[in-house]
């Protein structure tokens, strides 16, 4: 029963996307699916949120290409170093990505269906719960 309760609890997702409409649409769908969603429009903002947030972010869903000092890969590196229990999912519209991108977690190609993002997050949360 413990695993079921863990899967039913609300998962907090930080959506990081500089395209405000895409960020909003993704956040709205994930919120309607029962997740608690926080939005950031740059990797730099995401780091600040992760440092200052009272809620425990469990998943970072981030675009790779963004303005600022950090891009999505830099954010994924920071998350892995500073918040190792947080799952990172990257997304990009680029046809080719450096091979090391997949070491940060799954990569979703743009354009993506938000329902596919939801399914991937639920699958990863279930895997995380079963490994505890």
What CATH number did the domain enclosing 45 receive? 3.40.50.2300
Total structural domains within the chain = 1
Does residue 124 lie in a domain region?
no
Average pLDDT score over the chain: 85
Q: Strand, coil or helix: what is 36?
A: strand
105 falls in which pLDDT band (50, 70, 90)? confident
Look at residue 4 and tell me whether its pLDDT is greater than 60: no
Q: Which domain holds residue 34?
A: 11-116
Q: Which residue, 80, 129, 122, is CA-closest to 101?
A: 80
Does residue 90 lie in a domain region?
yes
Does residue 62 lie in a domain region?
yes
Look at residue 115 and tell me whether its pLDDT is greater than 60: yes
Q: Give the strands of the sheet with 107-109, arranged side by side.
A: 36-40, 12-16, 59-63, 87-92, 107-109
Q: Which residue, 58, 65, 47, is CA-closest to 6?
A: 58
Q: H or E segment at 43? A: helix 43-52
Does residue 123 lie in a domain region?
no
Does residue 122 lie in a domain region?
no
Does residue 131 lie in a domain region?
no
Does residue 44 lie in a domain region?
yes
Q: Which residue, 87, 10, 2, is CA-closest to 50?
A: 87
Does residue 3 lie in a domain region?
no
Mean pLDDT on 56-83: 92
């Amino acid at each position: 029963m413990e695993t079921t309760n863990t899967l039913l609890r609300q998962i907090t997702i930080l959506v990081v996307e500089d395209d405000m409409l895409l960020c909003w649409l993704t956040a709205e769908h994930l919120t309607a699916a029962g997740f608690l969603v926080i939005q950031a429009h740059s990797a730099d903002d995401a780091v600040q949120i992760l440092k200052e947030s009272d809620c425990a972010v469990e998943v970072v869903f981030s675009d790779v290409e963004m303005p600022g000092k950090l891009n999505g890969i830099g954010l994924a590196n920071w998350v892995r170093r500073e918040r190792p229990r947080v799952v990172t999912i990257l997304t990009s519209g680029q046809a080719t990505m450096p091979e090391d991108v997949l070491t940060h977690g799954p990569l979703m190609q743009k354009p993506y269906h938000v329902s596919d993002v939801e399914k991937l997050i639920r699958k990863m949360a279930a895997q995380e719960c079963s490994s505890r």
